[in-house]
Amino acid sequence: MTDSVTINDVGPRDGLQNQAKILSPQDRLKLVQALLDAGLRNIEIGAFVSPKAVPAMAGVEDIVAGLPDIDAEFSALIPNRKGYERARDAGIKTMGLVVAASNTMNERNIRMTTAQAVDVARDVLAQAREDDREVQVCIATAWECPFEGKVASDTVLSLSDQLHQAGAASLIIADTIGAANPRAVHQLMSALVAQHGSEYLSCHFHDTRALGMANAYAALEAGIRRFDASIGGLGGCPFAPGATGNISTEDLAMTLSLMGFETGLDMDKLIAAGELANRMTDTQTGVRSL
C-alpha cells in the first residue's frame, strides 16, 4: 500500500493575511474552490480575528457561509475565546489556536505571556469539548523566535505536554520565521513523535532561508505525515518580522509524488490554483510547469 501524506493548504489564511493586496471574501472563496478542484480536502479558510488587526481576514463569516457542501475539513484560526465563539457560531468544526514557544512572541502576537496563553488554550479546549468541536493547537516559534533567538527543544516538549493534557485535538509544530534547519527539525520532531505519536502531529514550515522543503523532508523522515503548505508559497506573518512565505503546496505535492507518497492531488489543477493565486495577489508564486 502506498504511504499517504495529508497536505493542509493554509493559503486562504496564512497565505493572504500579509499580502499588500487584500482580496474580497468572494475572491477568497474562488481560491478555496480552486483548491478543492485540485483535490485538497484540508483547507484553512480564514481567521476569526479583528479586521482592524488583520484587514485581509475581514468577512470570514461570509466565506464560511459560501463554502460548498463537500466532504472536507475546513478549518479556521482563532486567537482566543471570542474568536472561538465566532467560529463555532459560524459553523466551523475544526479550529486552530496559536501558542508560541517564546514568551515575547506571545506578547507581540496575542498580548499575553506564555503562561496566560496556555490558560486561554485550556479554557477554549474545555469549551470545545462541550461543543463537540476540535481545536488544534499550533506551537509557533518552535525552533527560533524573531525576538529571543533559538528556542530550546525542552521548552517545546514541555509546552506540547501541557497542551496535550489540556485536550488539544492535535499539535502543529511551526517554524514561524523559517529559521529551522533539517538536523534540528529531525531531532525535535523525533522527540515529539516518541512523546505523542506521529498521528498527533503536523508541521508548518516557512521558506525564509530556502530550507522549507529540506525541513519538510527531515520531518517526513521523523515520521510526520501531515503538513501545512500554502498555494503558490504565499505567506508571512504581520507579527513576526522576517517571516516569508510558507512552503509551496505545489512544490510539496510534487516532491511527495516523486518520492512515491500518495497525496490525492491533481498537479495540473494545483498549478492552475497557484496561477490563480498569482493573478489575484499580483505576486509571483509556485511551480510553473511539470
Q: Over the stretch 136-172, which tens digit does the pLDDT of each residue have? A: 999 999 999 999 999 999 999 999 999 999 999 999 9
Beta bridge partners of 172: 138, 202
Q: How confident is the model at residue 245 (pLDDT cuts 50, 70, 90)?
A: confident
Q: Is 169 exposed, middle or buried (0-12, 13-18, 19+ CB in 10 A)?
A: middle
Torsion sign across C-alpha atoms 58, 61, 65, 70: positive
How many angstroms from the chain centroid is the CA of residue 138? 8
Q: What is residue 239's predicted lDDT score, i.e. its pLDDT?
A: 56
Q: Over the stretch 16-25, which tens digit does the pLDDT of each residue have? A: 998 889 999 9
Q: What is residue 283's predicted lDDT score, i.e. its pLDDT?
A: 85
DSSP helix/strand/coil, 266: coil
pLDDT at 91 over 90: yes
Q: What is residue 18's predicted lDDT score, i.e. its pLDDT?
A: 83
Say what percent of the chain tops pLDDT 90: 89
pLDDT at 288 over 50: no
Grid cell for residue 231 = 498555494
From residue 26, alpha-carbon distances to 44, 49, 80, 285 in Å are 16, 18, 26, 21
Q: What mean pLDDT value characterizes the chain?
A: 94
DSSP letter for each residue of 184-219: HHHHHHHHHHHHH-GGGEEEEEB-TTS-HHHHHHHH
Phi, psi of 252 (to 5 degrees): -65, -45
Q: What is residue 290's predicted lDDT score, i.e. its pLDDT?
A: 47
Phi-psi sector, 188: left (phi>0), alpha (psi -120 to 50), beta: alpha
DSSP helix/strand/coil, 1: coil
pLDDT at 3 over 60: yes
Q: What is residue 236's predicted lDDT score, i.e. its pLDDT?
A: 64
Residues marked as catalytic? 237
What's the start-to-end Cα distance of the chain, in Å?
25
Pairing, β 94-100 against β 134-140: parallel
Q: Over the stretch 198-230, which tens digit does the pLDDT of each residue have? A: 999 999 999 999 999 999 999 999 999 999 999
User: What mean pLDDT is predicted for residues 119-141?
Assistant: 98
Number of C-beta neighbours around residue 214 at 10 A: 18
| Beta carbons of 185 and 215 less than 8 angstroms apart | yes
Torsion sign across C-alpha atoms 146, 149, 152, 158: negative
Q: What is residue 110's predicted lDDT score, i.e. its pLDDT?
A: 85
Distance, CA of 34 to CA of 50 (rounded, Å)? 26
- Which positions ≥6 away from 165 have C-beta within 8 Å? none
Grid cell for residue 160 = 506540547
- Which positions ≥6 away from 182 have C-beta within 8 Å? 211, 214, 215, 217, 218
Distance, CA of 3 to CA of 14 (rounded, Å)? 27
Grid cell for residue 288 = 510553473
Buried b (16+ CB within 10 A) or exposed e, 249-266: bbbbbbbbeeeebebebe
